[in-house]
Amino acid sequence: MLLIARFTVTEPAPFTIRAHRALELLLAQRGCLRGLLVRSTESSETWVLTVEFASVSAYRKSMSPFEVREHVIPFLAEADVSETAAYEVVLEADPTAVRRHTSLLAADASTVRLGEAGGPAEPR
């Protein structure tokens, strides 16, 4: 599971301090594998935080502790929300092989919107 959060940053120093704290808190959680904070080489105000989790379950559990909800969730809430942020791994590659992962998405995942966990309010 990969979390990708895009930010527009006008003051890098306080932003990187907050990102550092967010990464510390997330990486202290079981199943959080690694994180990167990167800045665009083409636009100095464009930054991306990526955090890799062992599974969707590990991602969800990592977001539960109080300190994470207190510091990380508000930080991530400042990210650009025009694009999705959570992705499942489909292919994983290293120099020795390319591995395919089984999708964890439900067969009807694209038919139910956020807030419609029991199903759509009206048939589509």
Sort strands 46-53 and 32-39 into parallel, antiparallel or unpaired.
Answer: antiparallel
Does the predicted TM-score (pTM) go above 0.75?
yes
Pick out the chain residues at pLDDT < 50. Answer: none
What is the model's pLDDT at position 120? 53
**Residue 61 per-residue DSSP state:** H
What is the model's pLDDT at position 104? 74
What is the model's pLDDT at position 115? 60
